[in-house]
Structure 1
Amino acid sequence: MKEVKKVHQCPICEKVFPNNYKLVRHNSTHTGEKPYRCSVCLKDFTHRYSLRNHQRIHTGEKPFQCSECHKDFTDKPSLKQHQRVHTGEKPFQCSVCHKDFRQRGHLNSHMRLHTGEKPHQCSVCSKLFAVKCAMVKHMRYHTGEKPYQCPDCLKDFIDKSKLKLHQRIHTREKPYQCSVCSKHFSVKCDLEKHMRTHTQEKVHQSPECQKILTNHTFLVKPLTLHKENKPYKCSKCQKSFSVEESLVKHLKIHTGETLYKCSECQKSFSREANLILHEKIHQDEKPYNCSLCSQSFSQKLKFENHMRRHNTDQPYHCSRCLQSYSHKSNLVNHMITHI
């Protein structure tokens, strides 16, 4: 008589397992039971193997090594995910737009772009986020935490990407090269700005005011100006902002706080954007090139002022006598004569 194979099925979700051990282990996902505790940080885990993998964070043990690049990992699933970088395998596909991903977590985060779901909420200002890492990064604007430190000048940063960009100041690394004139740049956006001096491209137009802009970032900013919703208000001067980060930067004007310091000359700035502009002086980066006289500039404003000398553009008009000027400073000096 043929023996009937016993089925190990979860009574809650009806998932079937090959043996009773795996069924019992699975049941804890429904009960919320976490019987395994780390003796170092007292964090609890559902499974013994999860605790074992976690403890390697404390011991520094990384027993799993990639055969291609010899990078070490604390657990086998992390190694498997990493190996897809070498193989190019992307087994997780979006059912809506068919985009492929290496990790299931990346697919889950991507799906929220289609569903509009934002399950992670800031406990301070109630702002919602689609992915947890974005919320964690946002929280640092409230706490002031900067966990990433430059080993050369000890400057701290909110996220790893900003630290990576900053370190190129020390290494002089310029990984982005112009395909036309072979000039190198440390950041991608500077290369994109520079490329427009070759193409004269102006492709971004505001749907509200029809203004043509040469950078998508500048297109997004005017769109926020067209919207009346500016929920972030300065408690000092009542000025309102549509983006919280803009309010945080604005407040430094009142406090006089200078958080961003140049590692070369120690000059301090209240805004990171001003520091980045300043650092180009030391890097000798001049992404804005005049197509008429070949003169180069490190800042867009100086480039635009220079171009007015060629095209005789005079956008600054006196409200008293209708006299026009190519530079704002000249208009200011002229206005004094009416006082």
Structure 2
Amino acid sequence: MHIRCHTEHKTYEYQKYGEKPYKCKECGKAFTYLTLVQSHERTHTGEKPYECKQCSKAFTCSSYLQVRERIHTGEKPYGCKKCSKAFASSSYLRIHERTHTGEKPFKCKMCGKAFISTISLATHGRTHTGGKPYECKKCGKAFASSSYFRIHGRIHTGEKPYECKKCSKVFICSCNLRVHERSHTGEKPFECKICGKAFSCNSSLSRHERIHTREKPYEFKTCSRVFTFSSSLEKHERTHTGEKTS
């Protein structure tokens, strides 16, 4: 039996596995299913027809709305079999599973560094371009990552939605809470493969690894100086702007 789809897009019979017959009219990107190309095309038009009733945030497709709703309800139906950590969406679970397998399928074309997700790759790419598209309306500070931008916003609002169940200490982001919880358990799951030193969070391991590799991914475009750490870059930027360093 054949299934045919009649839309503004060309009509296709049910395609074979792996085929991507639906193309975006704006950029030519191809998709397996009609619903996917329709959702993608909204990234060009800006249309977001699916709105969360809890917080009024709008989305391009119903699946994103469903994930958002789970954030409000606390529902996490996708559990990791390695560590029992649970997630609101299957895509978050897949990304997390790569932290166990070591798989990093997304590689930077500029420097060859690999990442576990396209979001991580896009954020890293801005260290090469200097792009910081997310700007705080309160203080003007700009960020390369939307997640960092959201976390920064809580500095102004004072919101700290993540609470430690052991000591009731509160945090502005879930990652800070997770790292803090390890101060109670003593867990240091991130180990350097070169020297064996262990860390309570992945970002500390990444910073440490640069000591071995001598990688300097943070470049200041004005004078082309490069730095191992983002904090060093920010400090150097102030020498150009005249802003006093603390």
Which category of TM-score, normalised to the shorter sequence, fits these structures? Answer: 0.5 to 0.7
For residues 285-315 of structure 1, the C-alpha deviation after alignment (integer angstroms, 9 at most, x for no partner) is xxxxxxxxxxxxxxxxxxxxxxxxxxxxxxx
Aligned pair 1:37/2:28, yes or no?
A: no
Partner amino acid for 2:129?
Answer: T
Preserved contact between residue 20 and residue 30 of structure 2 (Cα < 8 Å)? no
Residue 69 of structure 2 aligns to a residue whose secondary structure is helix
Aligned pair 1:258/2:228, yes or no?
A: no
Q: Given the superposition, is the C-alpha separation of residues 141 and 66 from structure 1 closer, same or farther in structure 2, using an over 3 Å criterion?
A: closer
Match of 2:67 in 1: 81
Instruction: Return the offset for 1:249.
Output: 5.6
Instruction: Return the offset for 1:178.
Output: 10
Alpha-carbon distance in 2 for matches of 1:42, 1:110: 30
Preserved contact between residue 232 and residue 247 of structure 1 (Cα < 8 Å)? no
Match of 2:8 in 1: none
Alpha-carbon distance in 2 for matches of 1:204, 1:76: 38
Residue 132 of structure 2 aligns to a residue whose secondary structure is coil
Instruction: Return the offset for 1:42.
Output: 2.6
Match of 1:230 in 2: 213
- Residue 143 of structure 1: which of 122, 129, 132 is its match? 129
Match of 1:314 in 2: none
- Residue 24 of structure 1: which of 9, 13, 19 is its match? 13
Matches within 5 A, 1:312-331: none
Alpha-carbon distance in 1 for matches of 2:120, 2:131: 14
Higher relative contact order at CA 8 Å, sep ≥6: structure 1 or structure 2? 2
Match of 1:267 in 2: 243
Preserved contact between residue 260 and residue 268 of structure 1 (Cα < 8 Å)? no
Partner amino acid for 1:43?
Answer: G
Instruction: Return the offset for 1:155.
Output: 2.5
- Residue 129 of structure 1: which of 96, 109, 115 is its match? 115
Residue 20 of structure 1 aligns to a residue whose secondary structure is coil
For residues 74-106 of structure 1, the C-alpha deviation after alignment (integer angstroms, 9 at most, x for no partner) is 322222232323444333333333433221111
Q: Given the superposition, is the C-alpha separation of residues 268 and 26 from structure 1 closer, same or farther in structure 2, using an over 3 Å criterion?
A: farther
Instruction: Return the offset for 1:149.
Output: 0.6
Preserved contact between residue 216 and residue 228 of structure 2 (Cα < 8 Å)? no
RMSD value, Cα:
4.9
Matches within 5 A, 1:24-173: 24-27=13-16, 29-34=17-22, 36-38=23-25, 41-46=26-31, 47-168=33-154, 170-171=156-157
Q: Given the superposition, is the C-alpha separation of residues 104 and 165 from structure 1 closer, same or farther in structure 2, using an over 3 Å criterion?
A: closer
Residue 31 of structure 1 aligns to a residue whose secondary structure is coil
- The TM-score with structure 1 as length reference comes to 0.48
Alpha-carbon distance in 2 for matches of 1:247, 1:68: 38
Instruction: Return the offset for 1:154.
Output: 2.4
Partner amino acid for 1:24?
Answer: E
Alpha-carbon distance in 2 for matches of 1:59, 1:186: 33
Instruction: Return the offset for 1:73.
Output: 2.8
Alpha-carbon distance in 2 for matches of 1:248, 1:154: 18
Question: May I ask how many residue pairs the two structures share in their alignment?
Answer: 222
